[in-house]
Amino acid sequence: MTEMFENSKLSTQNIKSLQNTSDSLIDLELEYSREELEAYTQNRLKGISKKTRWWIEKASQTFWEQTQGVISYNTINRLREYTLNNWESRDAWSKVLSFAKGFLGYLSKLRMDQRYLNFSIFLEMPKAIKEKKRTTDRVITEKDVERVIKFFIKRWKAGELSRKKTLSHVTQTLFGAYSGQRPYTIARLRVDQFEEALKLKTPTILVEASQDKIRMEHYVPLHPDIVPFLKALLKIRKKQGKEKMFDYNSYEQLLKRAKISLERGDLIKDPNKRHFVVGDLRKFAEQMADKIKWDISNKNYILTHGVSSVDWSNYKHPLPEFVYQIYMESWENVHLVPKEAYELL
């Protein structure tokens, strides 16, 4: 009983001691050992890359140099100021200050003292100045798409590309421009999907969830101008159904080397970015939407853009014939095929 009473008395004294301590962290000082810091550091170093390892070791070294075993307002604030002044990038600040916060959390659990963690409020990152949003300076026009097609035709006529490869690249350009599909999707589409689509009265390809970046199965209409090129490509390639439809890698590399200038390249500040790239096909479809007043719901569905709401995930399920019909109301009078391209058929 006496022992229990003594323990109770000791506990009461501790509580009184805590109550007498100032409520402000400004006046509080806590201790930790170098061994505790090293133990935490070694635990963080397990199974990480060489670059990340360097930052953890640097953050640990900096923490000890600036605090020397004492956790207080002065030492933690000194650590923060040193970090902000010694490194210029927010990424570096984040690495060092996050390590410090993690160690304070570790100490609070190790010593069963929440007060260590409370000092984290002095390690907040400075607020970043947000840049004002502006419209893109990358404008893709019908002439840009036609220029890409003419480039492949010119290479074919010069004997630098086979008819099969030229037909594949021209068809891919048209499909990307008319459908706005991501490069991720275009590279994964198969022969059998186009074969099935061309059998329909309203040619519409079904893109599988695994072929879409956001894993959304959806229908994509095939514009009438594309159909003869798709048929010619399927006939000349004689590929099996599960094979990829387009020579995507070859297409991407040719565009990179060609450096086809954009019509409105003058709007782009960086000269190295004034050339057509694969992703510009999707950008063209997005920008064309405003010009032809493309139904926004139909556009977002086909491009799987802005479709993360409950409406799309639980209620909407457009039928292919209706997707095609609404699409054609806007795209029917858009013609991107230069006359030279018909020589491939």
Q: What are the tens digits of pLDDT across the range 233-249?
A: 999 877 677 899 999 99
Q: What is the Cα 174 distance to its own chain's centre?
A: 25
Q: What is the mean pLDDT of residues 287-297?
A: 93
pLDDT at residue 298 greater than cutoff 90: yes
Extents of the domains making up the chain: 22-123, 142-344
**Closest by alpha carbon to 54, among 45, 63, 46?**
45
Q: What is the mean pLDDT of residues 70-77?
A: 93
Consecutive H or E run containing 307: none
Q: What gap in Å lies between CA 264 and CA 136, rounded to an integer?
A: 12
Q: What is the mean pLDDT of residues 84-105?
A: 91
DSSP 260: P
CATH architecture of 142-344: Orthogonal Bundle (1.10)
User: What per-residue confidence (pLDDT) applies to 26?
Assistant: 85
In sequence order, what are the beta bridge partners of 31? 70
Q: Where are the strands (E) in 150-306, listed by range? A: 204-207, 218-221
Backbone angles phi, psi at 314, to 5 degrees: -125, -20
pLDDT at residue 9 greater than cutoff 60: no
Q: What are the tens digits of pLDDT across the range 131-157?
A: 555 567 899 999 999 999 999 999 999
**Closest by alpha carbon to 279, among 307, 299, 303?**
303
User: What per-residue confidence (pLDDT) applies to 18?
Assistant: 39
More confident residue, 68 or 26: 68
* Surface-to-core class of residue 88, CB atoms within 10 Å of its CB (0-12 exposed, 13-18 middle, 19+ buried): exposed
| pLDDT band at residue 270 using 50, 70 and 90 as cut-offs | confident
- Cα torsion 156, 161, 162, 167: sign: negative
